[in-house]
A and B are shown apart, each in its own frame.
Chain A
């Protein structure tokens, strides 16, 4: 008989969770595609060059230059609960596009290696995937490579194309809405994006049209040392409906990459927009080297009466996340929703949340935020619920939960409530919990290994938000949560 010591050495909760959160980035690879890069640095000349390469009209160049000149007067924001290393904005290259200049007519013309990369990421760009009902506008680096289902959508009057194409084909629409929800004067990164934005997506759903499929865009950073400045503009006209999916995975990188996107959404009378995000930019290694800085301004204007905007986000990636998808509820009876799961691991930092600005009467908003922190990460919820003096009968419900895996991570909440109308009903609930050793042992005793138990518990905790995601996305997102927390029990 061997010695009498229990070889199944008991691990403390912290040790188990430290292992559980030590997983490597699954999507860490780089594809060798020639990219056409403008030299690093930012100046009026660079902006003119970007605009010229894209063949933009004068008014858009003016918009960029005005934003740039305003940006020069600003300092990066420091109010978030984030430790951001100084960024050398002159060391960043502001434009990178896949080499083939002419837009491809079919998949055959697309660089096979690009297709391979998308396939490895499981991105449905192939014919059979298109038949599954998704229109995919795949953005690699900055220029749209391929757009599907365009014709079918066009028959219904729906416009779904790259931002550059929209500027060429629908300049009046773009000019009418660009910068109307997120002004270039909004914040430092919004000004920067407005000056140098490369490409993105444009969606217009005409009056009374329900978009028959989920519109989906996969963003991906793939050129070393280039920033990514996406710009998305979605307009839902009266009685229109659209569900838009944004998802991203990025290859492994050593140096930090800046990602400063803008999403603007306009929702007219009785229209509804659902915007879902799964964000998995490279988060850096376990020591916090590398990783994407994700500084995003997302905002929707529910301008129409009884309009509705719903944000759902699953944030697992990026070294630093600074992001507050918000709703301005201006129309009477407008509804705003924000459902968020934010996972931080290792050295990741996230400061995310929402703003619900109630301007119209009878406007309602719901906020459900689920933060999950592991490793040495810091995870903050920051929210504002504001009720304007003239807004009667406003209701808000906020639920803000934090789950801690281990004791070296942090969870913080910064909720701000400003109510200037006495008829408002504003509710706020918050909880903080930890996965207990008892829960893990209970799962173990039933035969569920620790790693799987953590995934089960985390998915259970985040369920309320995951259930808001469209079906195809929910499966992917659940897998992502598991991957993020993988690596327990060697």
Chain B
């Protein structure tokens, strides 16, 4: 089992004393795409927040081992440096901070963590140019403030752009499809697919089957009341699309 990228065992967490995750178990190997689906309030965003180290959440039990490292012991920034990336459901605006300065700070913070010298300005601009193309963002991006005045689609493309620059080994896409029209969805999903390798893995958190038409999952998990109650292959997503969540709820609530 040493080749697992992420092993989550009995993870429990909550917010302001209220338990939301009630024992999550999840194993992810390199090259895999896992979809996590579930009705509103089932704990999907809490799971992504807890893994990334969002300080609003408190971990109350369990563990998460990320390529051999105790993930929960790391600061949020170090989790990023170790290769964890979260594409935010609601990307945050930072007025006055240009994308180019923001990304340079991010890239150089990681290089510092890895004991490398800061990237030269020329190399950095080249990197920005290359990665921008993956999600078809225009070159005006560099001089704009982080997410400020971006459309919904631009914000999500900007998330995937940042993912491309940081080259994480585990990406968590939190509701990346929400608020996207079909063209933007295609671009975003296309970007994610281009970044897939047999070394990295992706967790796709979504409500709808729609995104999974573009990003093909290897595994689908259904999260309900803070637990993974069902796991299966891609066909599970189709079944959900057809039948909704009620049958899952009934079955679980019966127990």
Binding site for B on A (CB under 8 A): 1-2, 4-8, 10-12, 433, 436-439, 441-450, 452-453, 456-457, 459-464, 489
Contacts and interface: CB of A to CB of B under 8 A. Distances in A.
B80 A445 contact: yes
Given A447-B80, A448-B106, A449-B109, A456 B97 contact: yes
Interface residues of B, number: 45
A445 B86 contact: yes
A441 B54 CA distance: 6
A252 to B, nearest CB: 30
Interface stretch (B68-76, B116-124, B193-201, B213-221): B68-76
Contacts of A460: 94-98, 101, 145
A439 B81 CA distance: 18
Interface string B134-162: 00000000000110000000000000001
Given A445-B52, A460-B96, 15 more contacts: A5-B59, A6-B59, A7-B72, A8-B53, A10-B58, A433-B95, A439-B92, A439-B94, A446-B80, A446-B102, A446-B103, A446-B106, A447-B110, A456-B94, A457-B94
B245 interface: no
B171 to A, nearest CB: 12
B113 to A, nearest CB: 7
B96 A448 contact: no
A8 B72 contact: yes
A442 B56 CA distance: 13
A438 B55 CA distance: 9
B166 A446 contact: yes
20 contacts: A1-B63, A4-B12, A4-B72, A10-B57, A11-B55, A444-B75, A444-B80, A445-B53, A445-B77, A445-B79, A446-B80, A447-B109, A448-B102, A456-B102, A457-B96, A457-B97, A460-B98, A462-B96, A464-B96, A489-B75
Interface of B: 12, 52-63, 70, 72-77, 79-81, 85-86, 88, 91-92, 94-98, 101-103, 105-106, 109-110, 113, 145-146, 162, 166
A2 B58 contact: no
B94 A448 contact: no
B81 A447 contact: yes
A464 B97 CA distance: 11
A153 to B, nearest CB: 35
Contacts of B96: 457, 459-464
Contacts of A1: 63
A447 B166 contact: yes
A447 B106 contact: yes
B55 A437 contact: yes
A10 B57 CA distance: 8
Contacts, number: 112
Contacts of B98: 460
Contacts of A452: 105, 109
A1 B73 CA distance: 12
A456 B101 contact: yes
A437 B56 contact: yes
A6 B79 CA distance: 13
A417 B24 CA distance: 61
Contacts of A444: 53, 75-77, 80
Nearest to A370: B96
A5 B53 CA distance: 13
Contacts of B58: 6, 10
A442 B98 CA distance: 14
A43 B233 CA distance: 92
A457 B88 CA distance: 19
B97 A446 contact: no
Nearest to B62: A4
Contacts of A8: 53, 72-76
Contacts of A450: 77
Contact of A447 (B12, B57, B77, B94): B77
A368 B91 CA distance: 29
A153 B109 CA distance: 45
B77 A448 contact: yes
A116 B166 CA distance: 44
Nearest to A446: B106
Given A441-B54, A445-B86, A4 B80 contact: no
- Interchain residue pairs A-B with the least CB separation, the first 9: A460-B96, A10-B55, A460-B97, A6-B59, A444-B76, A447-B80, A442-B92, A446-B106, A447-B109
B89 to A, nearest CB: 12
Contact of A2 (B70, B86, B110): B70
